[in-house]
Amino acid sequence: MTDLDTQAVIEKPLSEINAFDPAVIACPHAYNKKLRSEAPVHFDKNTGLYMVSNYDLVLEVIKKPEIFSSKFQQALEGGQAPSEKVKAILAEGWEAVDTMLTQDPPEQRRYRRLVDDAFSPRRVKALQPYCEALANDLVDQFIAKGECEFVSEFCIKLPLTVIADQLGIPREMMPTFKKWTTDFVVRLSGMATPEQEEDAARGIVEFQKYFAEKLEYYKQHPTDNIISNIANAAIENERPLDTKESLSILQQILVAGNETTTSAIAEGMYLLLNHPGQLTKLQQDPSLIPNFTEEILRLSTPTQNMWRITTQDTELGGVKIPKNSAVIIRFASANRDEVLFSDPDKLNICRENAAKHLAFGKGIHMCLGAQLAKMEMNTAFNVLLKRLKNLEIKYKGKQPEYPPNVLLRGMTELHITFSE
């Protein structure tokens, strides 16, 4: 789906556009541009949601957690409550609790401090040689073929293996690990069918039971991995985490640790191959890769949107927003704001302010794995561009497919060809 395909949609008045139309979600850029131009804070009468779309206003929301709360998990249940069957399945596990992503200060900071060290710049830097070796191993598995399905053969495997290894998960469990990630993404999508919801709920309970056993084991046998650190952590050095809290943190690490990086690497390759001049420049000067990574994060924004709930009557961008309103902050729109980014829809690997993107959020909810994701992307493209020559998209003219998801965006497959 392209912006041209959604042209008929965006020519309608904003009041007549369904923001959750799969076509709009698959390719939101034209709709986001219309929002920025006509109503940077838009009240959607069809859903009762407030859409915040330009850079400065998204940043304002992020910086005011006391007004725009991240405790949206329970607040949104009334609007998209799971079926009785899904509730019954989930009841076999542990109930969801607010920890990092869906928590506010000061509680959010207490949880965050427990895992910050595992993703510190020092630890991430130490992982770079291991990540490079892993990227080369993955390329070794398909380079002789002269082609690959890039998403499944590289983009998924690199970050998924890294986070699995850091959690201490056996590599033979990788397919199950990926299935659990997909189950959580389905639950986040807001677009799942009843059957998909039920299947995802079963997977989530399986995830919980597996990791609950691991947590108990590492309480008795501490070691140096993330699960053990969480199992033996204590809030403010006093109260240990309970199982529900530990599982919530592990769930967020699992999804954030691989799903968004997978999407960014895939989108980066797709954009490069559609901009051969930029690809040549990057091949000739690999020192541009870190800035290219920032530009890809800006353009792809794997976490397209995020929820907030207002804790009081407030005003934003001249629009009054009542207490307990659901707000969607549109990171993908902010990252293409014409006021900050010139020619914002264009790939420019030399863009001077590319790093100002909000792909990882900002402030207290800045993505825990931001530094890890950047290191993985930098390493991946260094290896890929060094080893794969004459890169091309196999099925030219075919547009990528993006499963409908309110929050996350990532292509399903990308077939590429190359020579050694």
Structural domain boundaries in the chain = 41-419
For position 294, what pLDDT does the model report? 98
For position 282, what pLDDT does the model report? 96
pTM score of the predicted model: 0.91
Say how many C-beta atoms besides its own lie within 10 A of residue 219's C-beta.
Answer: 12
CATH code assigned to 41-419: 1.10.630.10
The residues, any chain, with a CB within 8 Å of residue 383's CB and separated by 6 or more, are 132, 135, 136, 139
For position 97, what pLDDT does the model report? 83
Q: DSSP state, 151?
A: I
Cβ-defined contacts of 46-49 (< 8 Å, 24+): 46/15, 46/18, 47/19, 47/20, 48/325, 48/326, 49/19, 49/326, 49/327, 49/328
What is the β-pairing status of strands 49-52 and 326-330?
Answer: parallel
Token digits of residue 23: 């076509």
Running along the chain, 420 residues long, what does each successive block of 10 average in pLDDT? 55 88 89 96 93 98 95 59 87 87 81 80 92 98 98 96 89 91 82 88 95 94 88 76 90 83 96 96 96 97 94 97 96 98 97 96 85 96 97 91 90 96
Token digits of residue 403: 């499963």
The residues, any chain, with a CB within 8 Å of residue 381's CB and separated by 6 or more, are 265, 268, 282, 289, 292, 293
For position 265, what pLDDT does the model report? 98
